[in-house]
A and B are shown apart, each in its own frame.
Chain A
Amino acid sequence: MNQNTSNLYEVTDVHKHFGSGAGTVRALDGVDLTIARSEFLAIQGPTGQGKSTLLTLLGALDRPTSGRLEFDGRDLGTLSEDALADLRARAFGFVFQTFNLIPTLTAQENVEMALVPTHVEAKERRERAAQMLAELGLEHRLTHLPHELSGGQQQRVAIARALVKGPRVLLADEPTGNLDEQTRDEIVGLLEELWSERGLTLIVVTHDSSIAQRAQRIAVIRGGRVSIGEGEPLVLA
Chain B
Amino acid sequence: MYLTYLRRELRRRKKQAIVVALGLAIGIGLVVTVSAASAGVKTAQGTVLHSLYGVGTDMTVSKSAKAGTGSAQHFAFGSGGSGSRASAGTHVSRNTLRPTGGSTLSQSDVAKVASLSGAKAVAGGLTLTDTSFSGTIPSSSSGGSRSGGAAAGGSSFNVSSFTVDGVQISNSDVGPLVASQVRKGRYFSADENTADVAVVSSSYATQHSLKVGSKLEVGGKQMTVIGIADVSSSAANVYIPLGTAQALSGLKHDVTTIYVAASSASNVSKLASETRSAVPGATVSTSASLASDVSGSLQSASSLATDLGKWMSIAAMAVAFLIASLLMVASVSRRVREFGTLKAIGWRTRRVVGQVMGEGLVIGLAGGIAGLVLGILGAEAITAISPSLTASLGSSSAAGSGGGFAGGGVGHALGAADSVLVHLTAPLQGGTIALAILLAIAGGLIAGAFGAWRASRMRPAAALRTLA
Does chain B have a CB within 8 A of A104? yes
Question: Per a CB cutoff under 8 Å, which of B8, B337, B349 touches A100?
Answer: B337
- Selected interface stretch from B26-34, B340-348, B400-408: B340-348
In the complex, the answer to whether A113 meets B1 with C-beta atoms within 8 Å is yes
The answer to whether B5 has its CB under 8 Å from any CB of chain A is yes
Residues of B in contact, count (CB < 8 Å) = 26
Q: Which DSSP category, helix, strand, loop or mixed, fits chain B's interface?
A: helix
Given contacts A61-B460, A112-B1, 17 further A-B contacts (CB under 8 A): A61-B461, A62-B459, A85-B348, A88-B344, A94-B345, A96-B341, A100-B341, A102-B5, A104-B5, A104-B12, A109-B4, A113-B1, A114-B345, A116-B347, A117-B346, A118-B346, A161-B345
B424-468 vs A, CB cutoff 8 Å, 1 = contact: the mask equals 000000000000000000000000000000000001111011001
A116 to B8 CA separation, bound complex (whole angstroms)? 17
* A12-B218 Cα distance, complex, nearest whole Å: 112
- Whether B344 and A105, one on each chain, are in contact in the complex, defined by CB atoms closer than 8 angstroms, is no
A67 to B85 CA separation, bound complex (whole angstroms): 126
- What chain B residues lie within 8 Å of A105 (beta carbons)? 4-5, 8
Does A36 reach chain B (CB closer than 8 Å)? no
CB distance from A127 to the nearest CB of B (A): 14
Shortest distance between the CB of B173 and any CB in chain A (Å): 66
Shortest Cβ distance from A89 into chain B, in angstroms?
3
Which A-B residue pairs are the 7 nearest by beta carbons?
A89-B346, A104-B8, A62-B461, A117-B346, A56-B461, A100-B341, A61-B461
Contacts of A224 in B (CB 8 A): none
Contacts A/B (CB < 8 Å), 17 sampled: A61-B343, A61-B461, A81-B348, A81-B349, A82-B348, A90-B346, A102-B338, A103-B12, A104-B8, A104-B9, A105-B5, A105-B8, A109-B4, A113-B5, A113-B342, A117-B346, A162-B345
Residues of B267-306 contacting chain A, CB below 8 A: none
Name A117's contact: one of B5, B8, B347, B464 (CB within 8 Å): B347
A134 beta carbon closer than 8 Å to chain B: no
Closest to A82 in B: B348
B459–A113 touching, CB < 8 Å: no
The docked-state distance in angstroms from the alpha carbon of A85 to that of B460 is: 10
Q: Is the pair A85, B1 in contact by a Cβ cutoff of 8 Å?
A: no
Chain A residues within 8 Å of B462, by CB: 62
A190 interfacial contact with B, CB 8 Å: no
Q: Is the CB of B346 within 8 A of A56?
A: no
Any A CB within 8 A of the CB of B351: yes
B13 to chain A, nearest CB (A): 9
- Whole-angstrom CA separation of A52 from B460 in the bound complex: 13
* Residues of chain B contacted by A92 (CB below 8 angstroms): 346
Closest to B460 in A: A61
List which B335-393 residues lie within 8 A (CB) of chain A: 337-338, 341-349, 351
